[in-house]
Amino acid sequence: MRKRWIPRVGKEWGAVFLGATTIAGLVILLRLTGALQGMEWAVFDWFIHSRPHEPRDSRIVIVGISETDIQTIGQWPIPDGVIAELITRVKAQKPRAIGLDIYRDLPVEAGHERLIEIFKTTPNLIGVQMVSRGDNNWTVSPPKILKERGQIGFIAVLNLIDLLQKKIYVIMKSFEF
């Protein structure tokens, strides 16, 4: 009785091993070619969105510029003097870091010198540089004074397979493009 059972289990396990090895090899091959990347990103996004909401951290404040603000000021882009005043008000609260997520590589007069002075006297201010990769490789440089002081991060715009645009914010001490 025992002799018949052993050969039968051996043949069954051989088929299971062959099937598992084939499937594992196929998944590894698909993964190495990038064929599963779009699906992986979609599943990751789904997991992130399905997490329970975390409570707001009272230590973090985001100051935005809305369409109402632009209408009140009456000009776009926002003049450098207005941005300088905003940074001065935020700076008065003594934050650890201030992130300036505005592409500002050219001066917008009415307060440009004041904004440069604010940039020079605010060591915890981080500006951004926009970098795009792909078919249209272009950048928007950060303010020169912030780049010279190494106070820049970057925003990379990636075109993903699912045709969604995502922003990746990374603060780096220094980098060159």
Same domain, 114 and 153: yes
Number of other CB atoms surrounding residue 111 within 10 Å: 19
Same domain, 87 and 129: yes
Mean pLDDT by 10 residues, the chain (177 residues): 56 82 94 88 88 85 85 88 92 89 80 92 88 66 85 70 44 43
Are the C-beta atoms of residues 121 and 92 closer than 8 Å to each other? no
Same domain, 36 and 77: no
pLDDT at 176: 47
Same domain, 118 and 143: yes
pLDDT at 133: 62
Angle, to 10 degrees, between the axis of helix 80-91 and the axis of helix 112-121? 30
pLDDT at 26: 94
For 153, residues 6+ apart whose C-beta sits below 8 A from its C-beta are 99, 126, 127, 128, 129, 169, 170, 171, 172
Tokens of 83: 């941005």
Are the C-beta atoms of residues 80 and 114 closer than 8 Å to each other? yes
> How many domains does the structure of the chain reveal?
2
Residue numbers of the domain that contains 40? 2-50
